[in-house]
Each structure stands twice: as structure tokens, then as C-alpha cells.
Amino acid sequence: MKLLVTGGAGYIGSCVGTVLVAQHHEVVVLDDLSTGFADAVPDGAEFVQGDITTAADVLGRGGFDGVLHFAAKSQVGESVAKPDLYWRTNVTGSMALLDAMRVHDVPRLVFSSTAATYGEPEAVPITEDARTKPTSPYGASKLAVDMMITDYAAAFGLGAVSLRYFNVGGALADRGERHDPESHLVPLVIDAATGARGRLQVFGDDWPTEDGTCVRDYVHINDLAAAHVLALAATTAGKHQIFNLGSGDGYSVLQMLSAVERVSGVPVPYDVTGRRAGDTARLVASSSKIRNELGWDPTFTIDDIVRDAWVFRTGKPTV
Ligand SMILES: NC(=O)c1ccc[n+]([C@@H]2O[C@H](COP(=O)([O-])OP(=O)(O)OC[C@H]3O[C@@H](n4cnc5c(N)ncnc54)[C@H](O)[C@@H]3O)[C@@H](O)[C@H]2O)c1
């Protein structure tokens, strides 16, 4: 297929784009490099530097079979301080993309949604029919896009799949996570182990979990890429399907720290500080829907996630 990958210079878009090129799809990346890197654009993909609001210029060339829409602002804290940036980029930007797809008859969309659309869960594991009550402008902006996609699919025949990622980790051999500032746990634990950043701050050990630290659900970038390939094939004209993308297993902050120590052989210095505002004890996906309906079958373990992230981030082998 001929595919537009927005945000293909970022962590997830560059990795999924690399997998798509390897599967012989023709990939065009549109990215403004606001948080991405030109050298992350998949080898073999065409790179257009620009804002998503200019998607019509690319799609207007014709022949596109689908769009994978990763481009977004995605820092929860930043979204509280700069809601205008989040509503403009994530909502106005996505609307411009959807309108360009409509004008140029692009039939398929796979959208990077997020667990942040649910907010504080009433029950865990979180199913797709759980209440959506986001607690940040980031989550609200992504939920708004999901709602927009539902309406565009119903009215204009778009075939769309939203994947609500929980936590994504791991790396390909030459592409991985390079957020700045980094807010994700796995790279932060690795940096604490290598001394690249001070001691790890663990936000509270008095949560109602097995060891008192927060529990999250992690998916390896390779398993996430496989879900995108399945989603692309599952798009159906006029239908918007929403799937959680989590493993269904939860790991605490201290379990992740132990995993880094286990695969690297390096101790991770840490301090327990107070709880962080807005945190939640346990965020774990129900992955039944995507397993049952798309046949998604993740195979990478927590140690795989940590090992591949370690090798990418440090350039050093594990033990
Ligand atoms: N990383 C996670 O664990 C996670 C979890 C849930 C959802 N997501 C979603 O996945 C997607 C990708 O996340 P990521 O971690 O790869 O982030 P990232 O910041 O590494 O990648 C985003 C890319 O989009 C580009 N971009 C941003 N605004 C743009 C604009 N206006 N026009 C064109 N390009 C623009 C950036 O330059 C960057 O290359 C995002 O939509 C994010 O909300 C990520």
C-alpha cells in the first residue's frame, strides 16, 4: 500500500514506519521535527518536513491507500501548561488531516489514541467501553479526535481504527525512544543506572498495589507495530473501531527497576519521593478485544522491552 505516516520521525512512527517499509509498503513521512529527528525517518521512506495541516499537499499527489497518524503533542504536564498547543496540534491538526483525506479519497486511517482518554479508571483492567473522563488537556484532545473520527467514518465512509496505547517501550536495532524531556519510565530507569541522569525518583510507595508503587501496562514496539499492520488490514469503510493496546499485564515501578537491573547487571539508585499529582495506582488494559477481533498476539516480554531499550539507549550489550 501507499501510506502516509505522520509523525514518522518520532519514536513510535519511525519504528512502525520501518516495519512497514520492510513489508514493502511505500511510505511517505510527514513530520515537522518539533519533537522528532530527521535521522529517525525510516530508511527507504520519503520524508516531507511540514506541519500536519499541510497534509493535503502530500495526499493531493494521489494514490494513497491509507494514513497512519502518529503526529501529536503527547506530554501530559505540558498539556496542562499549554492547552492551546494541544488543542491546535492534536485536534485542529487532525481535523485538517481528515479533511485532506476526504478531499483526496484516502480510504483508511489508523490513529494513535491513548489510555489517557479514560482518565481515572472505575475498574481495572480497562475495557474499551469504560467511561472516558480524561484528566488532562492531552487526554481530552485525543478523545476529541476519536469522537471526530467516529463522525467522519459514519458520514463520509472513512474506514478507521484507533489504537489506545497504554505504555510503549523497547526499540528496534537502530530506532528507539529519544523524547526530550523524557517522561517515560524505562528510559528514565536506564539513565539512572548509567548515571546519565541522577537517581531515579519513585513517586510514592504507599499506593494500593503489591509493593506500593504504581502499576502500568507495557507493550514492546515490535508488538505495537504488528498491531498497526493488523489494524490497517481490518479497516472497514464507514466504521470506526477502537481497541486498547496493552498487554493485559501490570508491572510496578519497582518491578521495572528490577528488570533493568536483571538484564543490565547494573544497580539502579533510586529515592522514593511523594506521590505525583494526577497519578493513578494501576492502569492496565483489557487486551481481549484486539486479541479476539484482530488476532493480535504479543510475544515480547518485559525483559525484551528493557533489554532492547538498554541496547538502544546505551549502545552497550546486556549481560
Ligand atoms: N510513547 C507512548 O508511550 C505513547 C502512549 C500513548 C499514546 N502515544 C501516542 O503515540 C504517538 C507517537 O508518540 P511518540 O512517543 O512517538 O512521540 P514523539 O514525540 O516521539 O513523536 C511524535 C512525532 O510527531 C511530530 N509532530 C508533532 N507535532 C507535529 C505537527 N504539528 N506536524 C507534523 N509533525 C508533528 C514530532 O516531530 C514527532 O516526530 C502520539 O500521537 C502519542 O500521543 C504514545
pLDDT of residue 101: 98
Closest-lying ligand 1 atom to the alpha carbon of residue 69: 41
Ligand 1: distance of its center to the CA of 188 in Å? 18
Residue 219 near residue 245 (C-beta atoms within 8 A)? yes
Length of the chain: 319
Measure the CA–CA gap between 170 and 176, rounded to whole angstroms.
7
Residue 319: CB atoms within 10 A of its CB come to: 10
Q: How close is the Cα of 75 to the center of ligand 1, in Å?
A: 9
Is 70's C-beta closer than 6 angstroms to any atom of ligand 1? yes
Ligand 1 near 13 CB (within 6 A): yes
- Centre of ligand 1 to C-alpha 256, Å, is 23
Our answer on whether the CB atom of 167 is closer than 6 Å to any ligand 1 atom is yes
- Can 138 be counted among the known catalytic residues? yes
b/e 109-137 (16+ beta carbons within 10 angstroms → b) = bbbbbbbbbbbebeebbbebebebebbbb
User: Residue 62: what pLDDT?
Assistant: 96
Q: What is the pLDDT of residue 166?
A: 97
Closest CA to ligand 1's atom 2? 168
Contact between 298 and 223 (Cβ < 8 Å): yes
Q: Find the catalytic residue in 138, 152, 218, 251.
A: 138
The pLDDT assigned to 276 comes to: 87
Residue nearest to atom 30 of ligand 1 (CA): 51
Cell numbers at residue 105, please? 479519497
Gap from CA of 205 to ligand 1 centroid (Å): 30
Domains of the chain: 2-168+220-245 (3.40.50.720), 169-217+248-314 (3.90.25.10)
Phi, psi angle pair for 290, to nearest 5°: -70, -30
Q: Whose CA is nearest to atom 28 of ligand 1?
A: 72
Pocket test for ligand 1, best of 70, 90, 179, 244 (most atoms within 8 A of CB): 70
DSSP 65-76: -EEEE------H
Closest atom of ligand 1 to 9 CA is 39
pLDDT of residue 31: 98
| The model scores a pTM over 0.75 | yes
Indicate which atom in ligand 1 lies nearest the CA of residue 8.
39
All residue ranges of the chain with pLDDT < 50 are: none
How confident is the model at residue 319, as a pLDDT?
A: 83
